[in-house]
Amino acid sequence: MSHLKEIVIPEKASRKVGVVTSDARDKSCKVEIQFSVKHPKYGKYIRRRSLIQAHDANNEAKLGDKVEIAECRPISKTKSWVLTRIIEAAVV
């Protein structure tokens, strides 16, 4: 798969910070992003989460790591984000 070496991340690409919840697949990881939204009627803040599949070319992200991911072109059916850096390694 030589086309994966040509992944270019634009400067204005959307970036998010999350926690790795799965690293079982080769060159991929699942990142959970937690955020709060205000309920439209009641005004209470509700915790929500998004699960994003990210491309991890070197398999360097481990379970529990805090990572930064950036949006890129679609790599596969479910992956259109790429791992840019590991912010904080998980305590083992």
- Express each pLDDT in 5-24 by its tens digit: 678 888 888 999 999 999 99
59: pLDDT strictly greater than 90: yes
Has residue 51 got a pLDDT over 70? yes
Across the chain, mean pLDDT equals 92
Give the integer Cα–Cα distance in Å for 4 and 75: 8
Percent of the chain with pLDDT over 70: 95
CATH-assigned architecture of domain 18-64: Beta Barrel (2.40)
Contacts 24+ apart (CB under 8 A), 37-40: none
How far apart are alpha carbons 37 and 33 in whole angstroms?
A: 13
